[in-house]
Every structure is written in C-alpha cells, then in structure tokens.
Amino acid sequence: MLRLSTPSIDESVIEAVNAVLRSGQLVYGAQGQRFEAMLQDFLGVRHAIVVSSGTAALHLALVALGIGPGDAVLIPNFTFPATGNVVRLVGAHPVLVDVDPSTYCVTPDSVAAAIDAWRGPQPLRAFIPVHEFGHPADMRALLPLARYHGLKIVEDAACAIGATEHGKACGTHGDIGCWSLHPRKTLTTGEGGIISTDDDALAAKLRLLRNHGMVRQPQGIRFDEPGYNLRLTDIQSAMGLVQLPHLPHWIDQRRSLAAHYRQALAPMVSAGLMALPANHPGHSWQTFMVVLRADIDRATLICDLAEEGVETNLGAQCLSMQPAFEDIQPLPATVHASSLYRHGLALPFCESYGPQQVALVTNLLNRLLLAPKTQKTT
C-alpha cells in the first residue's frame, strides 16, 4: 500500500530516543529545553514552548489570552475540527468564516464579511487564521484587519512548519502561533505541539499553564494557579532535535513533489476532472489536496484506489457540517468550505515520495476517473 504519508524516522532518531530512555529522564527536561532553543532560532521568535499536541497549543493560547465564556472567535469553516474544538472548550462561540477555493485559507474579504454579518451577543475577541495544508494565509492583509477590530490573533500553523510569507515564518505574525507535531506533519514527535510568542509575559503564562501552574524555587515548589499537564516528554523532544535540521531539505523535496503532481495532473485539469491547489513560494506542502468535479463519486474513488494499493482521503472538514458544530451556521453562508469538504481528495504525499509514486497515482486516477462507476447516479 502506498500510504497517504510516511514519517521520516531513521536510525539517528531511534538512537536519540534510546539515549533518553537509558538516561531515565523521561519527562520534560534538558532535551525539551534544547528543542525549544533550536525552534526559537528556526522560527525567529523570542519564545518557543513545546506541549503535548497541536490541540493543546491552541487551547493554551486561548486560555493565556483570556478568551472564554461570553467571547466570540473567528475561525475558518474549512479546517481540522481542533481549531473549533478549542474555542468551544474554553466556552467561547466560534464564528465560521469561508475560505478561498484554491488556497483553502480565509481571505481578508471573507473575514470582513463575517465581521460585518456577526450579530451575536458575544463580542468578537479573537481570530484564528489557519495556514491550511501549509499554504500561507495572507497575514499582511489579515493582520491590520484584525488589529483594527481589536482582535487577538492566534495563528493555527499546525500544518505549516517551515512555511513563510514575505520571508517571515507562518505562525509568527500574530500574538501567538501554534504548530502540530503529529505523524502526518513534516516534523513529527509522534504527538506534540509548539507555541510561539514574542511577548515575555504571555510566554511566562503559557509555561505556567503547561505545567500545573508550578513554580520551582530554592525552598520548594509553589503552585501559583490551576494549570494543566500538557508537557512534551524528553523522549519526543529528542526526536524533534534530530529531525529539525533536516526540515528545510524535506520541504524542498515536498515542493518538488508538488511540482511533479501539478505537471502530471495538468491533463485531468484541462479535461475538467479536478482543480489543483494554489501554489505559493512559501508553501510548505504538508498535504496535496485536489478538488474533484462535483459529479465524481469520491467515496467510490477512494475505495477503488485502495484496492489498487493507493491510500487517499478527504482533506479537512467543513465544521458547520459536523455534528459537533451543527448548531452554528455561518453568516454569510460559506459556499467554498462545504464544497471543499465534499469534493476534496488528499493524495499520497511526503518527502520520501518522488516521480515514480506520482506516476502511479496519476495513472490510476486517469484510468479510474474515466470509469463509469465513479460518476454519481442522478
């Protein structure tokens, strides 16, 4: 089976993990501190804080900013549900925003339209733009719009480590940036997340919340406020330390793979069978998702590809179409988010794949998309 994605775990990563296991220092410690320092240099930020997951990063960001009951938060309607889950978990109200049909990110126009249409009792307090699949959201335009309306900005860069916009790392434009280290991400520690900020007070708050509200001092441990246990282990940090120096090369390989896909799929685009994702010089290409023609039965296509040994899947979710968010309808209507959810298809994609895998996938797609059974019956 050609997997949707395969993490790059070599012997050097395994040896680094073994060394931590032999040391007996398993929880957050020296490895975590070294990983944070390396991430600060890589991202160009004052503070990088490692946590147990990308969801934990988003959750802690909202808590540290004081977002909670009685507040409203702007989020994309096309994203992984964690973006919306954390808003509801802190007691705030998600306001769903439409996305661009080719970048899959919110736009200044869609955000402005959502702000203008919002009539809820909760004041808009924060905005979570998502750099979907590694494509940079237009922060140069979104940042002043959010600031004009007094919104705190938490960038969801879960898929976008290594992505840049105008030479600046995605996730470092707003008040707080959040990344995921899940195995589907280019840099992975199995599970894990990163929070970044240039605000010293926010960083101190985030570190406190991450670790039970605990402060260590010569006379013993003091607990300053109720906190969480959301630390990343040193086992996981050791994985990240070994992988991070390879990340720029891996992203270059992913950009090359995306170019191969774009060239190989061009005839199917010309035939009207699909649309391709937008390109961007700073794209980090965590996922390559095409959008199928509306009359193509995606579920059948996914099963047929699997029978031929190729794993595919949908891309992200339209939140307003999920049971967890069905009570929240976007205003104005988010046409593109629902269409991307219904017709998006994520193709096998990672730095270890090349032209041979692209040829396998595209040849199968070309054959199967012309087969009658992939066309929806009316």
Backbone angles phi, psi at 117, to 5 degrees: -85, -15
| Residue position matching structure tokens 């957050």 | 28
**Rounded alpha-carbon distances, angstroms, from residue 132 to 103, 245, 307:** 8, 23, 29
Tokens of 329: 């309808």
**Is 200:46 a contact under the CB 8 Å cutoff?**
yes
Q: Name which of 103, 105, 54 is nearest 78 in CA terms.
A: 105
Q: Which segments of the chain are extended strands (E)?
A: 47-51, 72-76, 78-79, 93-97, 124-127, 152-156, 164-165, 168-169, 176-180, 193-197, 214-217, 220-223, 274-275, 288-292, 317-318, 344-347
Residue 185 falls in the annotated catalytic set = yes
Catalytic site residue from 152, 168, 185, 373: 185
Tokens of 250: 């891996």
Task: Transcribe 133-158 into DSSP letters.
Answer: GGPPP-HHHHHHHHHHTT-EEEEE-T
**Is 292:343 a contact under the CB 8 Å cutoff?**
yes
User: Which residues are part of the catalytic machinery?
Assistant: 185
